[in-house]
Amino acid sequence: MKDLFKKIIKCLPIILALVFIHSSNAQFIPKNEVEKQAAKLVQAYQAEVGMTVEQASEVYEKIVEVIDKENSIRNSELNSEQKKKSLMNLSKQETAHMGTILDSKQFKEYKKMKKTLQPVGK
């Protein structure tokens, strides 16, 4: 029972962040697959990084934005080398932005996890 309570507490910031995003942004347009993917990533990061509700909300918004841009790049007319370069630049921009959201300890952990959770060539 104690472990179940701990798991619920760990997931609570993500749930609250998602509810906050949905209720506070009137222009929010659901993108089911993108949102699901972003929520899974935020949940994975949350388990190790330990973000506040506000941080999780900002990270979620950024990941949704990045996934949308990744999809645009992959579906573009660019050749494979240009796509790879664009995806690498996008990943660097995302990482830099996360450094403005997370504290130094969280950011260090995020960068370690990102290599496996969000590989550039994926």
pLDDT tens for residues 53-87? 999 999 999 999 999 999 999 999 999 999 999 99
Asked whether residue 122 is domain-assigned, the answer is: no
Q: Which two tokens stand for residue 43?
A: 């949940």
Asked whether residue 69 is domain-assigned, the answer is: yes
Asked whether residue 31 is domain-assigned, the answer is: yes
Asked whether residue 13 is domain-assigned, the answer is: yes
The answer on pLDDT for 49 being more than 50 is yes
The whole-number average pLDDT for the span 99-113 is: 96
Higher pLDDT, 92 or 18: 92
Q: How many angstroms separate the Cα of 76 from the Cα of each of 81, 91, 92?
A: 12, 17, 20
Report the distance separating Cα 27 and Cα 25, nearest Å.
Answer: 5
Number of domains in the chain: 1
The three-point CA angle 114-70-45 to 5° equals: 25
Instruction: Place 32 in a pLDDT band, splitting at 50, 70 and 90.
Output: confident
The answer on pLDDT for 119 being more than 70 is yes
Name the residue range of residue 30's domain.
2-117
